[in-house]
């Protein structure tokens, strides 16, 4: 007797067969595209000790393989010119539903609302891109939480007793929780999802961990700098973050003194923040850069950057080919003169917004424009969004949704009025993303790293909980009440319209996609393709 999933009613053998079909289809697609390198997908999986070997687990192990296979495709080889927020040439045709959905999904939380799509439909494609970019906020919509720890307390941590340190650590965790839940509310309520997406992207790029910084005020100030510069000038962003208290404390830059330079800060500024590991610098550049950054401190009374002159090495240095009495500002200026900075940032943004496989020729062209603009991020992002690579239908569904995409996007799609930020935080953490506490200096790796045997089950568990909460007759509502009128409006769409709204590409389990309304929405949300954007 075949095993049945109580929600989907699908024969697991049938799903396994469909999975094999998908793997074969994706494998053929990869082989057929000259010069293209898809990800490797192993044909099996194994259980971890202690895992329940039930039918839902089996289904979602297959789903994880499908998800990884689906993002193994490649991009086309065509090129498109770019511009930035200038009025485009006369529109030949308005943006299509599919184009608008893809644009909003990639610049938002993985799946847009119908109202967001319809707002773009009168516009041509470039106008739609301009509208989204112009809406980016430099300041948050909601007021931030009040920070309870004073600068003096943070300064005196080394002299605290064990009891005082325990109380202080508890207070810092409380501050981090308040910041995280505030940001979650901001993401749920914002009218500019791209603002949050960019802030999260830069949060991972300039990674700092609240559990090490242990000062909510510094973490918020860094967050504000990321948001303020998210679509501005990369040089300003690099300088602001490097001089911020969170980064100085996290990378031990505040301990960097002449005679005993700490190389950690200088190394990560080049390796992780601007040039890439081993790209264009030597170990001697790390040592000389560390000397240049000596004396960088934070005024704990004002929270502002200061230079401790007595701790700064004033002797001549040779850094990245430049010799002189260099300080930290000179070091950052010299870094920005290096040819590898623009390709490094361009490639990273490509992988975030376009596909896992950047085209080297197009990256070189965009990076050249980026450097010639003086590192203006707005024109670079627009260049990516209007490129034929981004617009190529083959790249729809090429990226895996992050935990924020999946959780926030789903709750926004179904119009939940006031989801619990605490519950949202728990769900995202289980899936591998803890706001204000990335795993290490490298931030979140993203991509296929989001899909593991454990995280895949938590993803399904979240979706099942959301579906239960959305049902009118439900007695358990961990996410509060869905807007019944808005949900009804979504459910009234035809089956094909619902599929095009909710999924980036055709469903894997197409044979089970029967019915209408909420029942069909449920099946679409549980299809492996919903994990993609």
d(CA 33, CA 359): 13
d(CA 262, CA 245): 16
Angle subtended at Cα 196 by Cα 521 and Cα 396, rounded to the nearest 5 degrees: 50
Q: Which residues, in sequence order, are bridge partners of residue 324?
A: 317
285/420: higher pLDDT = 285
For 217, the domain range is: 151-336
| Residue 88 counted as domain residue | no
Lowest mean pLDDT among 39-43, 225-229, 240-244, 342-346: 39-43
Tokens of 21: 């079909």
Q: Using DSSP, state whether 426 is helix, strand or coil.
A: helix
| Residue 143 counted as domain residue | no
pLDDT of amino acid 71: 57
pLDDT digits (tens, 9 = 90+) for 98-144: 999 999 999 999 999 999 999 999 999 999 999 999 999 999 999 99
Long-range Cβ contact pairs of 1-10 (< 8 A, separation 24 or more)? 3/55, 3/58, 4/55, 5/55, 5/56, 5/59, 7/464, 7/467, 7/522, 7/523, 7/526, 8/59, 8/509, 8/512, 8/523, 8/526, 9/512, 10/59, 10/509, 10/512
Average pLDDT, the chain: 86
Q: In the predicted model, is pLDDT for residue 395 greater than 80?
A: yes
Q: In the predicted model, is pLDDT for residue 274 greater than 90?
A: yes
| Residue 140 counted as domain residue | no
Tokens of 251: 């990378």
| Residue 3 counted as domain residue | no
pLDDT of amino acid 512: 79
Residues 314, 174: one domain? Answer: yes
Q: In the predicted model, is pLDDT for residue 45 greater than 60?
A: no
d(CA 204, CA 118): 32
pLDDT digits (tens, 9 = 90+) for 195-251: 999 999 999 999 999 999 999 999 999 999 999 999 999 999 999 999 999 999 999
For 63, phi and psi rounded to 5 degrees? -60, -40
Highest mean pLDDT among 5-14, 28-37, 367-376: 367-376
Total Cβ atoms within 10 A of residue 325: 11
pLDDT digits (tens, 9 = 90+) for 154-165: 777 778 889 988
| Residue 82 counted as domain residue | no
Tokens of 72: 């193994």
Helix (H) or strand (E) holding 307: strand 305-307
The phi-psi region of residue 83 (left if phi > 0; otherwise alpha if psi is between -120 and 50; otherwise beta) is beta
Of the three residues 395, 429, 462, the one that is the final residue of a domain is 395
Give the count of domains, the chain. 3
d(CA 399, CA 351): 8
Q: Which residues, in sequence order, are bridge partners of residue 318?
A: 323
Of the three residues 361, 395, 429, the one that is the final residue of a domain is 395
| Residue 89 counted as domain residue | no
Residues 60, 117: one domain? Answer: no
What percentage of the chain reaches a pLDDT higher than 70? Answer: 83
Residues 186, 299: one domain? Answer: yes
Residues 121, 264: one domain? Answer: no
Query: What letter would DSSP give residue 4?
Result: B
Residues 184, 294: one domain? Answer: yes
Residues 303, 159: one domain? Answer: yes
Q: Check: CB of residue 254 under 8 Å from CB of residue 297.
A: yes
Q: In the predicted model, is pLDDT for residue 417 greater than 80?
A: no
Total Cβ atoms within 10 A of residue 493: 18
Residues 178, 314: one domain? Answer: yes
Residues 226, 314: one domain? Answer: yes
Residues 273, 214: one domain? Answer: yes
153/518: higher pLDDT = 518
| Residue 91 counted as domain residue | no
DSSP 316-375: -EEETTEEES--HHHHHHHHHTSTTHHHHHHHHHHHHHT-SS--HHHHHHHHHHHHHTTS
pLDDT of amino acid 116: 96
Tokens of 9: 């009613």
Residues 376, 418: one domain? Answer: no
For 503, phi and psi rounded to 5 degrees? -110, 145
Give which of 107, 103, 43, 31 is closest to 72, Cα–Cα: 31
Q: Check: CB of residue 269 under 8 Å from CB of residue 335.
A: yes
Average pLDDT for residues 84-98, to the nearest whole number? 82
Of the three residues 336, 351, 380, the one that is the final residue of a domain is 336
Give which of 336, 341, 363 is closest to 350, Cα–Cα: 363
User: Locate tokens 């490094």: which residue?
Assistant: 344
Dihedral over Cα of 412, 413, 415, 419: its sign? negative
User: Locate tokens 């090495």: which residue?
Assistant: 313
Q: How confident is the model at residue 485 (pLDDT cuts 50, 70, 90)?
A: confident
Residues 160, 300: one domain? Answer: yes
Cα 198 off chain centre by: 7
| Residue 4 counted as domain residue | no
pTM of the predicted structure, to 2 decimals: 0.86
Q: Check: CB of residue 244 under 8 Å from CB of residue 226.
A: no
Residues 172, 70: one domain? Answer: no
d(CA 52, CA 237): 47
């Amino acid at each position: 007797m075949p095993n049945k999933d109580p929600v989907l009613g699908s024969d697991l053998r049938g799903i396994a067969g469909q999975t094999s079909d998908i793997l074969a289809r994706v494998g053929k697609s990869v082989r057929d595209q000259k010069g293209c390198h898809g990800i490797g997908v192993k044909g099996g999986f194994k259980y971890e000790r202690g895992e329940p070997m039930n039918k839902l687990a089996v289904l979602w192990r297959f789903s994880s393989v499908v998800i990884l296979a689906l993002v193994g495709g490649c991009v086309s080889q065509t090129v498109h010119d770019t511009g930035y927020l200038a009025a485009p040439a006369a529109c030949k045709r308005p943006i299509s539903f599919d184009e608008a959905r893809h644009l909003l999904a990639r610049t938002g939380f993985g799946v847009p609302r119908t109202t967001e799509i319809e707002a773009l439909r009168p516009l041509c494609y470039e106008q739609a891109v301009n509208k989204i970019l112009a809406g980016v906020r430099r300041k948050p919509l909601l007021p931030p939480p009040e920070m309870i720890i004073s600068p003096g307390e943070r300064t005196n941590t080394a002299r605290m007793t064990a009891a005082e340190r325990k109380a202080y650590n508890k207070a810092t965790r409380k501050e981090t929780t308040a910041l995280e839940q505030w940001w979650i509310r901001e993401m749920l309520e914002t009218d500019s999802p791209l603002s949050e997406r960019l802030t999260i992207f830069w949060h991972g790029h300039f990674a700092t961990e609240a559990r090490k910084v242990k000062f909510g005020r510094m973490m918020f100030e860094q967050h504000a700098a990321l948001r303020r510069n998210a679509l501005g000038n990369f040089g300003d962003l690099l300088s602001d973050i490097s001089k911020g208290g969170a980064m100085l404390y996290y990378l031990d830059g505040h301990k960097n003194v002449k005679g005993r330079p700490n190389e950690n800060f200088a190394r990560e500024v080049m390796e992780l923040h601007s040039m890439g590991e081993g790209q264009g610098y030597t170990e001697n550049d790390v040592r000389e850069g560390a000397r240049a950054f000596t004396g960088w401190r934070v005024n704990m009374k004002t929270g502002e950057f200061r230079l401790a002159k007595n701790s700064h090495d004033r002797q001549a240095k040779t850094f990245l080919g430049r010799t002189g009495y260099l300080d930290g500002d000179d070091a950052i200026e010299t870094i920005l003169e290096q040819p590898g900075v623009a390709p490094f940032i361009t490639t990273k943004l490509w992988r975030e917004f376009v596909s896992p496989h950047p085209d080297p020729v197009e990256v070189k062209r965009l990076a050249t424009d980026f450097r010639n603009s003086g590192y203006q991020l707005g024109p670079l992002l627009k260049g990516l969004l209007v490129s034929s690579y981004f617009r190529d239908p083959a790249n729809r569904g090429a990226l895996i949704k992050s935990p924020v995409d999946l959780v926030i996007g789903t709750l926004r799609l179904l119009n939940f009025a006031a989801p619990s930020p605490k519950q949202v935080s728990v769900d995202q953490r289980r899936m591998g993303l803890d706001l204000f506490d990335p795993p290490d200096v490298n931030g979140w790796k993203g991509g296929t790293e989001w899909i593991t045997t454990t995280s895949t089950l938590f993803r399904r568990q979240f979706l099942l909980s959301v579906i239960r909460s959305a049902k009118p007759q439900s007695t358990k509502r961990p996410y509060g009440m869905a807007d019944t009128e808005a949900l009804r409006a979504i459910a009234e769409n035809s089956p094909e319209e619902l599929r095009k709204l909710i999924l980036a590409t055709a469903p894997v389990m197409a044979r089970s996609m029967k019915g209408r309304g909420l029942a069909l929405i449920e099946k679409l949300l549980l299809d492996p393709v919903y994990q993609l954007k």
